Structure 1
Amino acid sequence: MPDSWTFAVARDDLGRTTLAETSTPALVDGEALLRVDRVGLTANNVTYAVLGESMRYWQFFPGEPRGLGPEWGLPPLWGFAEVVESTVAGVDKGQRVYGYLPPAGHLVVRPDRVDSTGFRDATEHRADLPSPYNAYRSVTGDAAYRADQEDLLILFRPLFFTSFMLADQVADNGFYRADQLILSSASSKTAYAAAFELHGRGPGIVGLTSPGNVAFTESLGCYDTVLTYDAVEDLGTKSSVYLDLSGAPDTRAALRARLGDHLVRDIAVGLTNRIPNADAAGEVFFAPVQMRKRRQDWGRDGLDERFAEAWKRFAAVAGQWLDVRAGAGPEDLRRAWLEVLDGRTPPRVGQVVQL
């Protein structure tokens, strides 16, 4: 009998969805069962689906073992889960973990490298996928965790990790000797978290956004200048780095026309309007690459400590910039997915679903 559920989207039409009754498999030795508890939905999750094939995001949680055909994909989510059954020492029933989760009631994992900070999922089909997505952090061993900040962690932590590593790469390269850093989708969480990290450290920070988001973006206080997309002529001719989080071809073309040789770097960071931007950009930023460099430079503990310190600074102010919209159950998960997919979630709103 079905005892769980799975939410999936059509790979070729992300607005077509299904909620399927599924069964939780019996564990074998070396496995643990997680109950997915509380998750968030942001434009980041849409990015995973848009790039599901090219960046292998569909492979993390394949639908076929859940009885879903190959036309369906499970967009990965970030959030908290609880261990409800375990055959692995050190992974205990009732343990609460943060990590990469399917839009489903349960997830079977094969914990490896178990220690006080959590574990990694060594399930075979995830072995050659980017390792940061396979880590599950125990709340009792996580320097960044506070119980009263769970929703902030759900909505911001994966984005802030990207933002933190992006800012670190820019600083690590001497800000590319630029006089200004230009961020598109400036009202998005990933953009303004990066701006928060970069503000006051060197070059001026310019945010590009739509007219309706100017007031919100200015209120954040982490941009020196906020411009609408049709006002790029006001950028002047300073040497500039473009950190593109929107993927909008018209914006890139306008910036190149305005800045010419003064555009010293054009870096694709992600996308929020479902237009892949990697091919048109000069280069692509991928957070795990900079993370691997810093693990070599600082060690795992050193990176964790720096991230936790940066997160605490950010979390102290980010709560003022966010209104959490909380849903409950799979149907609200579907509703939240469609709202975020269609761009109907205001920048100040964060979608969280209790499952």
Structure 2
Amino acid sequence: MPAAWTFAVARDDLARTTLVDGPVPEPADGEVLLRVDRVGLTANNVTYAVLGESMRYWEFFPPEPRGLAAGQGLVPLWGFAEVAVSTVQGIDTGQRLYGYLPPASHLVVRPVRVDATGFRDGAPHRAELPSPYNAYRLTTGDPAYRGDQEDLLILFRPLFFTSFMLADQLLDNDCHGATQLLLSSASSKTAYAAAFELRGRGPRLIGLTSAGNVAFTESLGCYDRVVSYDDVTALDVVPTVYLDLSGAPATRAAVRTHFGDRLVRDVAVGLTNQVPNAGAAGEVFFAPTQMRKRTTDWGRDGLDHRFSDAWHRFASAAAGWVDVETGHGPEALRAAWLDALAGRTPPRTGSVVQL
């Protein structure tokens, strides 16, 4: 096997990066070695880094066993990996799976709850972390998987899961009685996927975006109206839920001033720049909370069925909304990270890296 490598960032300066080589890990009994194959980089990954301390994202892939210095962190990614070595019955070499992966060539996991759909990583350091991030789905047991849609799954699936759960929570609560939903960062994948799910099922959908992204956002057909951030005051003052995906304090201030007591909810949904927005919002949306509720309501199979149906509807449309740019190797991963961090990735571009 070739040498392993790991890409890390400084937690206190996310633009300062490190690439280190090392030996390929050897799995112990009860462990499986995954070879990370293909991953995506979006604003969602920047969110993981910005909120790494408060939301414990840094803890999923500890840097210590990888020869990294203190203060460095591994930004979690989503993508596909293959089983390189297995010591676990029911998991075979060569199987392909989708899940939460490090920016590295390899990952050792300790599978538990192994079945035909996949497994969960039962590594002790992940036991107290949010469980949805610990699931690894085998492509052979995943109703959402199609081989010709791997890049769409890489780029959109984790975002679409948030969007799907956000739309579901809003509909589950009758959209809090609002007559319009206002989404900031409307050109972002999470925002327009949520709008896709909500379109025609309740309140009017208004997208807020930068002036340069208005035309792209309108072209999606997900919103009833798209306006630039400077035009908030042109919106009707009616009962409104603000879904903040931008984290921009000036936008929140403008929305609160304009809508006043007609702003019935102010909800933080991640962020797409480096200004944490959770503290200033009225509430924070966390997809795993709604997922747990729906797992209780519908059962795991029921949730999987509803999600996969929604995903296939969305993927058919999203294929025409994104231009996939594929890089190769760790240096391409570094470049894609720095572009996403600096906000240089156009909304129509999807960055995928073949490792």
- Cα deviation per residue 1:270-291 (whole Å; 9 max; x = unaligned)? 1001100111000000000000
TM-score, scaled relative to structure 2: 0.99
Question: Tell me, what secondary structure is at the counterpart of 1:321?
Answer: coil
Report deviation, 1:30.
Answer: 0.2
Give 1:191-340 correspondences, 5 Å limit: 191-340=191-340
Contact 1:2 1:21 in 2 (8 A): no
Contact 2:241 2:265 in 1 (8 A): yes
Contact 1:179 1:240 in 2 (8 A): yes
Aligned equivalent of 2:127: 127
Contact 2:25 2:33 in 1 (8 A): no
Aligned equivalent of 1:79: 79
- Cα deviation per residue 1:12-69 (whole Å; 9 max; x = unaligned)? 0000001100222222110000000000000000000001111100000010111112
Aligned length: 355
- Cα deviation per residue 1:217-268 (whole Å; 9 max; x = unaligned)? 0000010000000100111111000000000000000011000000000000
Query: How many Å separate the matches in 1 of 2:169 and 2:70?
Result: 37
Following superposition, which runs of at least 4 residues in structure 1 exceed 4 angstroms of deviation? none
Query: How many Å separate the matches in 2 of 1:218 and 1:180?
Result: 17
Contact 1:5 1:104 in 2 (8 A): yes
Query: How many Å separate the matches in 2 of 1:292 and 1:22?
Result: 38
Contact 1:2 1:22 in 2 (8 A): no
Give 1:146-161 correspondences, 5 Å limit: 146-161=146-161
Query: How many Å separate the matches in 2 of 1:95 and 1:346?
Result: 34
Query: How many Å separate the matches in 2 of 1:318 and 1:164?
Result: 14
Question: Tell me, what secondary structure is at the counterpart of 2:319?
Answer: helix
Aligned equivalent of 2:24: 24
Question: Tell me, what secondary structure is at the counterpart of 1:88?
Answer: coil
Query: How many Å separate the matches in 1 of 2:2 and 2:220?
Result: 47
Aligned equivalent of 2:15: 15
Question: Tell me, what secondary structure is at the counterpart of 2:280?
Answer: coil
Identity %: 74
Residue 28 of structure 2 aligns with an amino acid whose one-letter code is V
Aligned equivalent of 1:89: 89
What do you get for the CA RMSD once the two structures are aligned?
0.9
Provide structure 2 residue ranges, at least 5 long, that are not aligned to the other structure.
none
Residue 120 of structure 2 aligns with an amino acid whose one-letter code is R
Query: How many Å separate the matches in 2 of 1:157 and 1:101?
Result: 14
Query: How many Å separate the matches in 2 of 1:260 and 1:351?
Result: 39
- Cα deviation per residue 1:264-322 (whole Å; 9 max; x = unaligned)? 00000010011001110000000000000000000000000000000010001100000
Query: How many Å separate the matches in 2 of 1:313 and 1:261?
Result: 36
Contact 1:205 1:224 in 2 (8 A): yes
Aligned equivalent of 2:143: 143
Residue 295 of structure 1 aligns with an amino acid whose one-letter code is T
- Cα deviation per residue 1:59-97 (whole Å; 9 max; x = unaligned)? 000101111122110000000000010000111000000
Residue 352 of structure 2 aligns with an amino acid whose one-letter code is V
Contact 2:38 2:352 in 1 (8 A): yes
Residue 252 of structure 1 aligns with an amino acid whose one-letter code is R
Question: Tell me, what secondary structure is at the counterpart of 1:279?
Answer: helix
Query: How many Å separate the matches in 1 of 2:319 and 2:38?
Result: 18
Query: How many Å separate the matches in 2 of 1:224 and 1:245?
Result: 18
Contact 2:193 2:314 in 1 (8 A): yes
TM-score, scaled relative to structure 1: 0.99
Aligned equivalent of 1:172: 172
Contact 1:79 1:99 in 2 (8 A): yes
Aligned equivalent of 1:68: 68
